[in-house]
Amino acid sequence: MMELSPREFDQNFENGWRVVAKNNDCLEVAANLIRTYYTTNEVSAGAKRTFVWHEGQLRAEIGQYRQAIQLMEQAEKPVQRDISGWNHYVAATIAFLQSDMEKLRIHREKLAAVPKPENFNPKDADGNPIEIDWPLNLNIVDKFISCFGQTSAEVYSGCTEERQP
């Protein structure tokens, strides 16, 4: 696995870290695998940001919030390169993990206000246009709000009870 390209390791659901993470009992193993990959292989700054983010998500799912937050803080993009509101998504996720509804709502509104770039036309692997909701990740942030008070794992597995403070 360590010899896969960064894209193959991260995005291939049959060869990369995601194979390990399919088993919920192995989420920590998958997080450790990601860390090993990006610390032993040469990866671009963008790829490292993605790996750090995914490691953070896995750590959050297993309740390692402090480590998850530290990783997620490293996943922010330089402000001038953040055209999709990524940093607001990161901040909203951290606010959720910190149980800070006020900050969560603030970053939700900032993310919702991000204008769609004129040249935003996503395509699938075959080059066909695909529909993607804009702004990106707003649906996840909305789920953080509707599932507030539940764990990260419960949010991603489909929280059953909506709790709004």
pLDDT, tens only, 94-112: 999 999 999 999 999 999 9
Residue 87 lies in a domain: no
**pLDDT on residue 102:** 98
Q: Is the pTM of this model over 0.75?
A: yes
Residue 1 contacts residue 9 (beta carbons within 8 Å):
yes
Q: How far, in Å, CA of 155 to CA of 40, rounded?
A: 32
**141: closest CA among 102, 97, 101, 108?**
108
Q: What pLDDT is stored for residue 161 in this prediction?
A: 57
In this prediction, residue 13 has a pLDDT band, given cuts at 50, 70 and 90, of confident
Say if 6 falls within a structural domain. yes
Average pLDDT over every residue of 141-149: 94
Name the residue range of residue 24's domain: 1-75
- Answer yes or no: is 34 within a domain: yes
Judge whether 158 lies within some domain.
no
Q: Which of 108, 118, 98, 113 is nearest to 139 (CA)?
A: 108
Is residue 49 one of the residues assigned to a domain? yes
Question: Which residues lie closer than 8 Å to 139 by C-beta, 6 or more apart?
Answer: 133
> In the prediction, which pLDDT does 160 show?
66
Confidence (pLDDT) at 124: 83
Domain assignment present for 85: no
Asked whether residue 59 is assigned to any structural domain, the reply reads yes
d(CA 98, CA 146): 16
Q: How many domains are there within the chain?
A: 1
Task: Work out the widest C-alpha separation in the chain, in whole angstroms.
Answer: 47
Residue 55 lies in a domain: yes
User: What pLDDT shows up at residue 146?
Assistant: 93
Q: Residue 163 above 60 pLDDT?
A: no
Angle formed by the axes of helices 65-73 and 45-61, to 10°?
Answer: 160
Closest among 32, 13, 12 to 22, alpha carbons compared? 13
Average per-residue pLDDT in the chain? 93
Contact residues for 36 (Cβ-Cβ < 8 A; gap 6+): 2
